[in-house]
Amino acid sequence: MGEMVVSKALFYAVALVAVVLGNALAASSASENSQVKIWPMPASVSYGDARLYLTSDFRFSSNRESQILKDAFNRMLSVIKQDHVIDANFSDFNRSSLLQGLHIVVASPNEQLQYGTDESYKLMVPSPEKPGYAHLEAKTVYGALHGLQTFSQLCNFSIRRRVLEVLMSPWTIIDQPRFPYRGLLIDTSRHYLPMTVIKKVIDSMSYAKLNVLHWHIVDTQSFPLEIPSYPKLWDGAYSPSERYSAADSAEVVSYAKKRGINVLAEIDVPGHALSWGVGYPSLWPSKDCQQPLDVSNEFTFKVVDGILSDFSKIFNFKFVHLGGDEVNTTCWTTTPRISKWLRRHRMNESQAYQYFVLRAQKIALSHGYEIVNWEETFNDFGSKLSRKTVVHNWLGGGVAQRVVESGLRCIVSNQDRWYLDHLDTPWQEFYINEPLTNITNSKQQKLVIGGEVCMWGETVDGSDIEQTIWPRAAAAAERLWTPYDKLAKNPREVTGRLAHFRCLLNQRGVAAAPLAGSGRTAPFGPGSCYEQ
């Protein structure tokens, strides 16, 4: 035990040295953006050396009457103030250095959020035409939301002058994401996450410009979601207080939309579904062999259809996730009536697995969804999958390459680099994970729609989820947002900037862990936030 303490102390000491060295390297970098602290790094940035100050009545104006924009502007003001008291005497300031407001021009009145919605924006601080104002323009309100996030990172509170200031003005930032899908998975089956926690996670995602919350709602351990078509399903929840009503799930979707985030709902079938049978035992192969779902029972598919019918009224994202991973079919072959059904239909267990997945896909298609499935479905019977399938890579390398070569789309979440529950994977590994590895054909590259970091819930709940997600998820967020040629070739080059973003998250009430050490680590001792 004593040796473990010594080695752990040595580990953290080495980690501290790495951070300090990384900061030194970042500070001495010859990069044109070495002074820029924005995370993720925008596509194009220019700046000067002037200083501007936000007036006490800094205001919002727009060519669109948009409640989404108004609310986002007010949230932005709140986070940049950080609860400081702004009591500067503005009569002491040069009028030409004052910013009176932000004018936002949005080209499209359409506020529907969907996969592929334009997220580009252009930000000028100050506006060349109206120097007393910052100017933000975007094709959609959701591009404008990203512009507001960037503007918030240009602002900081001056403790000396008691005012919000913008350094390095004038700024011109032209920006758009590299990938249209930039996701974070949360798991509410292994541990229930209160609504307040889910909303805080959504807020923090918006700070890093992630745009898909993959909600792995149910699994073997619990079924916390109300399904009106089959009201006994949530009998599989841990307790009556650890449940989400249909109205709660609609609130999550609404809350996320106002922050530019889609919600991808998942039911993982046919495996990972033991909890379904608590309310409906006939979904189990038998009382003693309880998953995967009973492939021989028509009621099973009626329940899947009912769930997806209810989903379609709440989860309006283009995609639904049907899981399909880690299916152990032993219960099918060892349960006599299912074994008999398999023989009658001339299926072996692997063919029954294929039958179940493809039938679930058809049900999802009938409700207007395109489908995401975990990669085992592709590995086992990829040519049979609907052409509207997105294959979700998680097991290892080379899968994305094979998927796009087959003409299907792919989301990358390889577990060795982008699984947040792997606490021994440091942020540097998250940063260097490249979704297009060995994919050189431009048409095939476009079939990789993006990537996702996965916060599986076995060891996280409301007490530790934020520090397990951040700052490592931010490293992946830059990989998915920033143009490839703007990404650092060596993670050490961005250590200082990521440390700055981690401290910014802390200032905004997000419990992001230090960069030093592994995931979810605690501070190793006294010191500045920017050096841990």
What are the tens digits of pLDDT across the range 158-204?
999 999 999 999 999 999 999 999 999 999 999 999 999 999 999 99
Element (H or E) spanning 206, and its range? Answer: helix 195-207
Task: State the average pLDDT over residues 267-281.
Answer: 98
Confidence of residue 396 (pLDDT cuts 50, 70, 90): confident
CA distance 149 to 455: 23
Of the candidates 327, 232, 214, which has an alpha carbon nearest to the alpha carbon of residue 282?
Answer: 232
How open is the CA angle 350-352-353, to the nearest 5 degrees?
Answer: 65
Can you tell me which residue has the tokens 């095939």?
444
The pLDDT of residue 378 is 98
Per-residue pLDDT for 496 more than 80?
Answer: yes
Q: Residues 111, 266, 326, 429: which is the catalytic one?
A: 326
Confidence of residue 26 (pLDDT cuts 50, 70, 90): very low
CA distance 296 to 372: 24
**Is 111 labeled as catalytic in the residue annotation?**
no
Element (H or E) spanning 452, and its range? Answer: strand 448-455
CA distance 524 to 532: 8
How open is the CA angle 315-467-415, to the nearest 5 degrees?
Answer: 65
Find out whether 448 and 480 touch, Cβ atoms under 8 Å. no
The pLDDT of residue 91 is 87
Task: State the average pLDDT over residues 377-406.
Answer: 96
Task: State the average pLDDT over residues 266-291.
Answer: 97
CA distances, 423 to each of 43, 74, 429, 480, 503 (Å):
31, 36, 12, 21, 20
DSSP letter string over 348-405?
-HHHHHHHHHHHHHHHHHHTT-EEEEETHHHHHHGGGS-TTEEEEE-S-TTHHHHHHH
Q: Find the distance separating the first CA and the last CA of the chain, reported in whole Å.
A: 26
The identity of residue 81, as a single letter, is: K
- Calculate the average pLDDT of the chain: 93
3-state secondary structure 292-314: CCCCCCHHHHHHHHHHHHHHHCC
Per-residue pLDDT for 22 more than 60?
Answer: no
215, two tokens: 């909600």
Can you tell me which residue has the tokens 């062999």?
289
The pLDDT of residue 34 is 72
Classified as helix, coil or strand, 166 is: strand
Looking at residue 419, the DSSP 8-state letter turns out to be B
Confidence of residue 33 (pLDDT cuts 50, 70, 90): low
CA distance 306 to 308: 6
Confidence of residue 7 (pLDDT cuts 50, 70, 90): very low
Per-residue pLDDT for 37 more than 60?
Answer: yes
CA distance 418 to 219: 20
Per-residue pLDDT for 1 more than 50?
Answer: no
pLDDT digits 0-9 by tens, 47-106: 999 999 999 999 999 999 999 999 999 999 999 998 899 998 888 899 999 999 999 999
What ranges in 28-140 are assigned the alpha helix state H? 67-81
Q: Would you call 80 exposed, middle or buried from its count of C-beta atoms within 10 A (0-12, 13-18, 19+)?
A: buried
Of the candidates 350, 394, 353, 400, which has an alpha carbon nearest to the alpha carbon of residue 374?
Answer: 394
Q: Phi first, then psi: what are they for 212, rounded to 5°? A: -135, 120
How open is the CA angle 487-489-490, to the nearest 5 degrees?
Answer: 120
What percentage of residues in the chain have a pLDDT greater than 90? Answer: 91
DSSP letter string over 219-234?
-SS---B--TTSTTGG
CA distances, 95 to each of 142, 318, 381 (Å):
32, 49, 68
CA distance 372 to 394: 13
Of the candidates 322, 432, 441, which has an alpha carbon nearest to the alpha carbon of residue 370?
Answer: 322
Find out whether 99 and 165 touch, Cβ atoms under 8 Å. no
The pLDDT of residue 36 is 96
Task: State the average pLDDT over residues 35-49.
Answer: 97
Of the candidates 352, 407, 349, which has an alpha carbon nearest to the alpha carbon of residue 378?
Answer: 407
Task: State the average pLDDT over residues 330-356.
Answer: 97
CA distance 319 to 321: 7
The pLDDT of residue 518 is 84
Classified as helix, coil or strand, 156 is: strand
**If you compute the radius of gyration of the chain from its CA atoms, what whole number of angstroms results?**
25
Per-residue pLDDT for 231 more than 80?
Answer: yes
Q: Would you call 440 exposed, middle or buried from its count of C-beta atoms within 10 A (0-12, 13-18, 19+)?
A: exposed
pLDDT digits 0-9 by tens, 134-143: 999 999 999 9
Of the candidates 301, 218, 315, which has an alpha carbon nearest to the alpha carbon of residue 262?
Answer: 315
Per-residue pLDDT for 8 more than 90?
Answer: no
